[in-house]
Amino acid sequence: MPMPGLPVQEAAGAAHPLAGTFAEWIWLVPVLPFVGFVINGLLSLVPATRLGPADPSEGGDGHAHVEHAGGTAHDDAHHHPARHPYARLVSLIGPAVLALAFAVTAGIFGVLAGAHAEAPFVRTLFPWIVTGSLHIDAALQVDQLSMVMAMVVTGVGFLIHVFSVGYMQDDPGYPRYFAYLNLFVFFMLVLVLGASYPVLFVGWEGVGLCSYLLIGYWYSDKANADAGKKAFVMNRIGDFGFLVAMFLLFAHLGTLDFVGVGSRASQLTEGGAVVTAIGLFFFLGCAGKSAQIPLYTWLPDAMAGPTPVSALIHAATMVTAGVYLVARSAVLFSLTPVASLTVALIGAITAIFAATIGLKQWDIKKVLAYSTVSQLGYMFIGVGVGAYAAGVFHLLTHAFFKALLFLGSGSVIFAMHRALHHTGSHADAQDMRNMGGLRAYLPWTFGLMWIATLAIAGIPPFSGFFSKDEILASVFARASHSTLADASLLGIPGSALLMVIYVLGLAAALLTAIYMTRMMLYTFHGPNRTGEAERAHLGEAPWVMTGPLVVLGVLSVAGGLLNLPAFMGSLSQTLHHWLEPVTGEAALRITQGEEAHLALGTEGALIGIAVLIAVGGIVYAFMRLKPAVLLPKDQSPEAHGFERVLEHKYYVDEIYDRTVVKPVVGISTRILWKGMDAGLIDGLLVNGSGYLMRGLGWMGARLQSGQVGTYAWVLVIGVLAVLGAFSIS
Partner 1 sequence: MIPEALALSAVLFTIGTIGVLTRRNAIVIFMCVELMLNAVNLTFVALSKLYGVTGQVFVVFVMTVAAAEAAVGLAIIIAIFRHGQTVNLKNINLLKG
Partner 2 sequence: MADFLASINYNAWVLPVLLALPVLGALLVWSHGALAGSGESSSMTARRMTLWILIAEFVLSAGLWWSLDSASAQWQAVYDRPWIEAWGTRFTVGVDGLSVMMVLLTTFLMPLAILGGWTGVRSRVHSYHALMLLLTTGMLGVFVAKDLFLFYVMWEVMLVPMYFIIGIWGGERRIYASLKFFIYTMVGSLLMLVAIVYLGIQAGAPAGRPTFDYDAIMALNLAPTVTFWLFGAFFLAFAVKVPMFPFHTWLPDAHVEAPTAGSVILAGILLKLGTYGFLRIALPFFPGVAMYPWVRTTIIVLAVVGIVYGSLVALVQPDIKKLVAYSSVAHLGFVMLGIFALTVESVQGALMVMIGHGLSTGALFLLVGIIYERTHTRMIDAYGGIARVVPLFATILTIVALSSIGLPGTNGFVGEFLVLVGAFRTYPGMTVISATGVILAAAYLLWAVQRLIYNPLDKPANAALKDLNWRELGLLVPILAGILWMGVYPRPVLDRMEASVQKLVSDVARNAERQQASMMLGGQ
* Positions that interact with partner 1 (CB under 8 A): 700-709, 712-713, 716
Shortest spacing between CB 722 and partner 1, in angstroms: 15
Q: Give the H or E element holding residue 141.
A: strand 134-142
Nearer to partner 1, 635 or 704 (CB): 704
Binding-residue pattern over the window 469 to 498 for partner 2, x denoting contact by CB under 8 A: ------------------------------
Binding segment for partner 2 (CB under 8 A), chosen from 289-297, 523-531, 678-686, 716-724, is 678-686
Inter-CA distances, 294 with 71, 286, 347, 373, 491, Å: 32, 11, 11, 11, 22
Shortest spacing between CB 236 and partner 1, in angstroms: 59
Shortest spacing between CB 664 and partner 2, in angstroms: 7
**Applying CB under 8 A, does 221 fall inside the site for partner 2?**
yes
Binding-residue pattern over the window 244 to 273 for partner 2, x denoting contact by CB under 8 A: x-xxx-xx----------------------
Shortest spacing between CB 694 and partner 1, in angstroms: 13
**Applying CB under 8 A, does 129 fall inside the site for partner 2?**
yes
Residue 485 contacts by C-beta under 8 Å, 6 or more apart in sequence? 478, 479, 493, 494, 495, 498
Instruction: Say if residues 380 and 289 touch (Cβ distance below 8 Å).
Output: no
**First and final CA of the chain: distance in angstroms?**
73
Among partner 1, partner 2, none, the one that 253 touches (CB under a kind-dependent 5 to 8 A) is: none
CA atoms within 13 A on the CB side of 243: 8
Closest CA to 379 of 478, 282, 468: 468
Cα(706)–Cα(23) distance, integer angstroms = 94
Shortest spacing between CB 561 and partner 2, in angstroms: 38
Instruction: Say if residues 62 and 221 touch (Cβ distance below 8 Å).
Output: yes
SS3 content of the chain, % helix, strand, coil (to 5): 70, 5, 25
Nearer to partner 1, 664 or 712 (CB): 712
Binding segment for partner 2 (CB under 8 A), chosen from 238-246, 472-480, 522-530, 598-606, is 238-246
- Residue 693: burial class (beta carbons within 10 Å; 0-12, 13-18, 19+): exposed
Amino acid 39 reads: I
Shortest spacing between CB 248 and partner 2, in angstroms: 8
Nearer to partner 1, 655 or 717 (CB): 717
Shortest spacing between CB 41 and partner 2, in angstroms: 9
Nearer to partner 1, 650 or 713 (CB): 713
Cα(651)–Cα(668) distance, integer angstroms = 25
Tell me phi and psi for residue 442, to 5 degrees.
-125, 65
Among partner 1, partner 2, none, the one that 118 touches (CB under a kind-dependent 5 to 8 A) is: none
**Applying CB under 8 A, does 676 fall inside the site for partner 2?**
yes
Shortest spacing between CB 681 and partner 2, in angstroms: 5
Site for partner 2 in 28-47 (CB under 8 A): 45, 47
DSSP state of 365: H
Of 130, 619, 655, 696, which lies in the binding site for partner 2, with binding defined by CB under 8 A?
130
**Applying CB under 8 A, does 308 fall inside the site for partner 2?**
no
Nearer to partner 1, 45 or 701 (CB): 701
Closest CA to 87 of 162, 158, 168, 154: 168
Cα(420)–Cα(398) distance, integer angstroms = 32
Of 11, 19, 99, 243, which lies in the binding site for partner 2, with binding defined by CB under 8 A?
243
Binding-residue pattern over the window 171 to 210 for partner 2, x denoting contact by CB under 8 A: ---------------------------x--xx--xx--x-
Helix (H, G, I), strand (E, B) or coil at 385: coil
Among partner 2, partner 1, none, the one that 9 touches (CB under a kind-dependent 5 to 8 A) is: none
**Applying CB under 8 A, does 677 fall inside the site for partner 2?**
yes
Shortest spacing between CB 400 and partner 2, in angstroms: 30
**Applying CB under 8 A, does 220 fall inside the site for partner 2?**
yes
CB under 8 A, 24+ apart: contacts of 224-231: 224/62, 224/304, 224/305, 226/301, 227/298, 227/301, 227/302, 227/303, 227/304, 227/305, 228/302, 228/304, 228/305, 230/297, 230/298, 230/301, 231/298, 231/299, 231/301, 231/302
Of 126, 532, 635, 706, which lies in the binding site for partner 2, with binding defined by CB under 8 A?
126
Helix (H, G, I), strand (E, B) or coil at 400: helix
Cα(455)–Cα(559) distance, integer angstroms = 10
**Applying CB under 8 A, does 233 fall inside the site for partner 2?**
yes
Nearer to partner 1, 637 or 709 (CB): 709
Cα(423)–Cα(538) distance, integer angstroms = 12
What would the 3-class secondary structure string for 278-313 be? HHHHHHHHHHHHCCCCCCCCHHHHHHHCCHHHHHHH
Nearer to partner 1, 222 or 694 (CB): 694
Instruction: Say if residues 421 and 78 touch (Cβ distance below 8 Å).
Output: yes
Nearer to partner 2, 108 or 138 (CB): 138
Cα(273)–Cα(657) distance, integer angstroms = 33
Shortest spacing between CB 201 and partner 2, in angstroms: 6
Tell me phi and psi for residue 459, to 5 degrees.
-95, 125
Inter-CA distances, 212 with 282, 529, 594, 653, Å: 21, 34, 44, 19
Shortest spacing between CB 206 and partner 2, in angstroms: 7
Nearer to partner 2, 92 or 681 (CB): 681
Binding segment for partner 2 (CB under 8 A), chosen from 128-136, 349-357, 480-488, 556-564, is 128-136
Nearer to partner 2, 134 or 507 (CB): 134
Nearer to partner 1, 131 or 707 (CB): 707
Shortest spacing between CB 672 and partner 1, in angstroms: 41
**Applying CB under 8 A, does 240 fall inside the site for partner 2?**
yes
DSSP state of 121: E
Find out whether the peptide bond into 461 is cis, omega within 30 degrees of 0. yes
Site for partner 2 in 49-108 (CB under 8 A): 55-57, 60-61
**Applying CB under 8 A, does 667 fall inside the site for partner 2?**
yes
Cα(421)–Cα(387) distance, integer angstroms = 49
**Applying CB under 8 A, does 2 fall inside the site for partner 2?**
yes
Residues at the site binding partner 2, with contacts judged by CB under 8 A? 2, 45, 47, 55-57, 60-61, 126-134, 198, 201-202, 205-206, 209, 212, 216, 219-222, 225-226, 228-229, 232-233, 236-237, 239-240, 243-244, 246-248, 250-251, 664-665, 667-669, 672-673, 676-677, 681-682, 685-686
